A = this chain, B = another copy of it.
Amino acid sequence: MAARVLDGKALARSVEEEVRRDVQAFVQKHGISPCLAALLVGDDPVSSLYVRRKAEACGRVGIRSETFRLPREIHEEEILALIADLNRRSDVHGILVQLPLPPHLREEVVTSAILPEKDVDGLHPMNVGYLFLGRPRMVPATPRGILELLRWAGVEVRGKEAVVVGRSPIVGRPTAALLLSQHATVTICHSRTTELSAHTRRAEILVVAAGRPRLIRGEMVKPGAVVIDVGVNRVDGKLVGDVDFAEVVEVASAITPVPGGVGPMTIAMLLRNTLQAALAQLEGNGCTLEP
């Protein structure tokens, strides 16, 4: 029996609808809109596309957005000065820097310059620390979207065997931290893992964020597992994940497709993070996630 396909697009729409209503209430109460500032360095077409999609999503829910298109050659001081300016502006509630940055810009310096309360990507060490301590404030959008998908699908996390493949600061590590806070037993695998399939085969919840197309084949998945595919790879002009969908859909009990799974959830959660940031700044709350 084929797995249930988790429709991230549909869930994202319903989250957006919820955010849209909450934004309306926010505007009525405060007389201003939540506002997201996005910094795009250079003209990489994929990064440009992502930033445009985020701005469009803001528009759909009533969040104001400003996009700063910066030349590829920009000096680090200049981008830091712009961030300092946005940190000071009380009409800007969320700031994100589209990654990756050109190699002459240090990503950890740039992302750490954003005020933690405006850091809607959750990459500031302070926000990472709170998450890892089990007291999440700003959580990166993709992990938050993954947990929301699991909750929506009725997947119990507590006491489950969860395996995360990939240890990036933006997906693998924070997803592991969230699963751990929700009482899963968590294993983090990565490129140095020697027996990947031994781990993936015991996962009841398998999250794959390795950036390698078809890394996870059918025989590597435990029958009945819930499989979350975070990969976004272009193969022969087609978008595919890290999971061999055709094979794994026959083994898993639930699976996210690529596209239409985690991707739309990421954008929906960015909107929610922006609203949460605006609420925290104007009402002094909303900055702590409910469990």
Binding site for B on A (CB under 8 A): 108, 124-135, 158-159, 161, 167, 169, 173, 177, 180, 183-190, 192-194, 199
Residues of chain B lying within 8 A (CB to CB) of residue A133: 108, 125, 128, 169, 173
A188 touches which of B135, B169, B173, B186 (Cβ 8 Å):
B186
A177→B193 CA distance, assembly (Å): 15
Tell me, rounded to whole Å, the shortest Cβ–Cβ distance linking A6 to chain B: 24
Tell me, rounded to whole Å, the shortest Cβ–Cβ distance linking A159 to chain B: 5
A177 and B129 in contact (CB under 8 A), knowing A185-B187, A185-B192, A187-B186? Answer: no
A128→B192 CA distance, assembly (Å): 24
Sample of 4 more A-B contacts, CB < 8 Å, known A126-B129, A186-B187, A186-B188: A108-B133, A167-B180, A185-B189, A185-B192
**When the two chains form their complex, are residues A183 and B188 in contact, meaning their CB atoms are under 8 A apart?**
no
**When the two chains form their complex, are residues B159 and A193 in contact, meaning their CB atoms are under 8 A apart?**
yes
Residues of chain B lying within 8 A (CB to CB) of residue A134: 169
Chief secondary structure at chain A's binding surface: mixed
Residues of chain B lying within 8 A (CB to CB) of residue A186: 187-188
Tell me, rounded to whole Å, the shortest Cβ–Cβ distance linking A198 to chain B: 8
A130 touches which of B125, B188, B190 (Cβ 8 Å):
B125
A192 touches which of B129, B158, B187, B188 (Cβ 8 Å):
B158
Residues of chain B lying within 8 A (CB to CB) of residue A161: 194
A129 touches which of B124, B159, B188 (Cβ 8 Å):
B124
- For the complex of A and B, the 4 pairs showing the least CB-CB separation, nearest first, are A125-B129, A129-B129, A128-B129, A187-B187
Tell me, rounded to whole Å, the shortest Cβ–Cβ distance linking A139 to chain B: 13
Supply 17 A–B pairs (Cβ within 8 Å), ascending by A. A108-B133, A124-B129, A125-B130, A125-B133, A128-B133, A129-B129, A129-B130, A132-B177, A133-B169, A133-B173, A134-B169, A161-B194, A173-B180, A180-B188, A185-B189, A185-B193, A186-B187
Residues of chain B lying within 8 A (CB to CB) of residue A132: 128-129, 131-132, 173, 177
Residue of B nearest to A182 (CB): B192
A159→B158 CA distance, assembly (Å): 28
Residue of B nearest to A169 (CB): B133
